[in-house]
Amino acid sequence: MRRALCLVDRKDWDAEDFDNLDDFRQEARRGKFVCLACGGKAIFRSAGNARKATFSARHLNGCCLNPQAWTVFRYLQ
């Protein structure tokens, strides 16, 4: 996902903005991200070859940002 809430500064970060921070400021926030919707723990993945920076989270049950929940929701329709 593209955005996550940082518990250090209570700010919601865009993954690409965070990727542009220097190492020192990234390090201070590493492991301190949660999903904006459910508060599930999120981790930052920096940009790589042909891949944009992103956050990935362990969403709690029923989180609206959980792609798996969407699959189930579609199935039930």
The residue ranges that bind Zn ion (CB under 5 A) are: 35, 37-38, 40, 59, 63, 65
Which residue's CB is nearer to Zn ion, number 48 or number 62? Answer: 62
32: alpha, beta or left? (left if phi > 0; alpha if psi -120 to 50): alpha
* Cβ within 8 Å of residue 57, ≥6 positions away: 1, 4, 33, 34, 35, 38, 40, 41, 42, 43, 65
Which residue's CB is nearer to Zn ion, number 29 or number 59? Answer: 59
- Residue 19 CB, nearest approach to Zn ion (Å): 21
- Residue 72 CB, nearest approach to Zn ion (Å): 14
Which residue's CB is nearer to Zn ion, number 28 or number 64? Answer: 64
